[in-house]
Amino acid sequence: MMDASRSESLIAAGRLFHQRGWVPASGGNFSYKISTDRIAITASGCHKGELSAENLMLVDSAGAAIDPARRSSAETLLHCQIYARDPLAAAVFHTHSVASTVLSRTRNSLRLADFELLKILEGIETHEAAVEIPVFENDQDIRRLAAQVDAAMLNGQGRHGYLIRGHGLYVWGSSVELARYRIEALEFMFQCELEAARVGGSSD
């Protein structure tokens, strides 16, 4: 069963992300985990800034819609991969911001270092830290893309989130709120990297 409070949090996050320009058109998708075999996820093609509870639907852990008449996000399998790989993941956000799109087109991975906001990420307690956000090649075959991400995660990459080239960012957390804080923090740091590159101060 859906959780009304967490559904409301996803809907509110969609409004915020749209105001910030992170989910243009019907880009982006959001989910939260209900149990080991139930995920609430946005339906495909809806506007993430104008979500209502009717735009959320249930899928199982393999990404199959519980109501087969409905079509879940085209990227459902990327959400399923995260929940399968990280038992602490309870919510996933995917955004299409200008910063994540531009940086993912110009870098092969993104190193974020010496930002106070890094402390919102798992296991980081000081700004004197660095994380590597990998960039995966975009692929319209989402099962293949999910397998690519899974192989990298098994190899220790992408622990804090990942970029898809020319496409966007995936981030998760142990609650809807934490996942939202993390996407806000990463988008902020990406914006800083973009500004730094513009003025010639990138550390990459």
| Binding-site ranges for ligand L4RZE5RM (CB under 6 A) | 25-29, 42, 44-45, 73-75, 94
Cβ neighbours around 58 below 10 Å, total: 18
Nearest approach, Cβ of residue 136 and ligand L4RZE5RM (Å):
13
Question: Which residue's CB is nearer to ligand L4RZE5RM, number 25 or number 151?
Answer: 25
Least Å distance, CB 95 to ligand L4RZE5RM, is 8
Which is nearer to ligand L4RZE5RM, 22 or 115 (by Cβ)? 22
Q: How far is CA 152 from CA 148, 161, 168, in A?
A: 6, 11, 17
Closer residue to ligand L4RZE5RM, CB minimum distance, 43 or 117: 43
94 assigned binding-site residue = yes
Three-state SS string across the chain, please?
CCCHHHHHHHHHHHHHHHHCCCCCCCCCEEEEEEECCEEEEEECCCCCCCCCHHHEEEECCCCCECCCCCCECCCHHHHHHHHHHCCCCCEEEEECCHHHHHHHHHCCEEEEECCHHHHHCCCCCCCCCEEEEEEECCCCCHHHHHHHHHHHHHCCCCCCCEEECCCEEEEEECCHHHHHHHHHHHHHHHHHHHHHHHHCCCCC
CA 155 to chain centre: 19
Question: What is the closest distance, in whole angstroms, from the C-beta atom of residue 125 to ligand L4RZE5RM in the complex?
Answer: 33
Quick one: 96 or 118, whose CB is closer to ligand L4RZE5RM? 96
CB 158 → ligand L4RZE5RM: shortest distance, Å?
Answer: 18
Cβ 145 to ligand L4RZE5RM shortest distance, Å? 11
- The answer to whether 127 is a known ligand-binding residue is no
Residue nearest to ligand L4RZE5RM (CB): 73
| Residue among 9 and 42 whose Cβ is closer to ligand L4RZE5RM | 42
* Residue list, annotated binding site for Zn(2+): 94, 96
* Residue list, annotated binding site: 94, 96
